Amino acid sequence: MSAATPMTQDELKALVGRAALEHIGHGHIIGIGTGSTVNHFIEALAQQRERIVGAVSSSEATTQRLRAHGIRVFDANEVEELAVYVDGADEIDPRGFMIKGGGAALTREKIVAAQARRFVCIVDQSKWVQTLGRFPLPVEVIPMATQRIIRQFAALGGTARVRLRDGAPLVTDNGQHILDVTGLAITDPPAFESMVNDWPGVVTVGVFAHQRAHVCLMGTPEGVRTISFDGPGR
């Protein structure tokens, strides 16, 4: 017999998107992130949309997708607390710390994550790393501070570049720009996040340490691996 055909990255994303439904209770308002893995979760949720009251969205793209499926979208200010937040990550480490922002929605993602009692991170196994920093770190910045922030990252050994779209700086849903920073090894994510957040002109740094994951659903060729980060130290 021939060996089974390995699952593609997209199939692994669909696998964890469906698995995330098991972490969604009935009658709640939930938070939903942004990105290709989350899109698979939304497709699965659309088949059972009656189980939730609605969602708070982390981006205009996700809002449009949810509404297209008939899922009610609430403004974050209408909701005091969310039962769970489901989102992907560009990197996640063994402590549940993440890099996020490849889809340029990091600021709203962090806002929604802060409203949720639990953060369920859904990824394929390529996102698992021992030390954050291999993926370019997204940082949302106010444009007038761009060059100074680039110099501050250079002093740390990082190379920051403005993210472009069609030859011009990408503009986020919040009207700001994104820097992508390479050359960093982030060994103390909470301290790094706090430091960069204090730099004038930084809107949000894409290190999610203070809003780290409670659980990671990781798609592997053997199926969905569930990694819990609950317990002391959270």
What pLDDT does 7 receive? Answer: 86
What pLDDT does 6 receive? Answer: 81
CATH 1.10.3210.50 fits 137-205, yes or no: no
Is position 17 annotated in a ligand binding site?
no
Contact present, 38 and 88 (Cβ < 8 Å): yes
Is position 100 annotated in a ligand binding site?
yes
Q: Looking at the whole model, is its pTM more than 0.85? A: yes
What pLDDT does 101 receive? Answer: 97
Domain ranges in the chain are 9-129+210-228, 137-205
Q: How far apart are CA 112 and CA 217, in angstroms?
A: 19
With a CB cutoff of 8 Å and minimum separation 6, the contacts of 112 are: 31, 32, 33, 56, 57, 58, 76, 82, 85
Does the active-site annotation cover 50?
Answer: no
**Burial per residue of 165-204, b for 16 or more beta-carbon CB atoms within 10 angstroms, e otherwise:** eeeeeeebbeebbbbbbeebebeebeebbeebeeeebbbb
SS3 42: helix
Is position 88 annotated in a ligand binding site?
yes
What pLDDT does 32 receive? Answer: 98
What pLDDT does 115 receive? Answer: 97
Give me the catalytic one of 91, 109, 140, 193: 109
Question: What are phi and psi for residue 151, nearest 5 degrees?
Answer: -70, -35
pLDDT digits (tens, 9 = 90+) for 55-71: 999 999 999 999 999 99
Question: What are phi and psi for residue 63, nearest 5 degrees?
Answer: -55, -45
Which residues in the chain show pLDDT less than 50?
1-2, 232-234
Q: How far apart are CA 17 and CA 121, in angstroms?
A: 10
Is position 180 annotated in a ligand binding site?
no
CATH 3.40.50.1360 fits 9-129+210-228, yes or no: yes
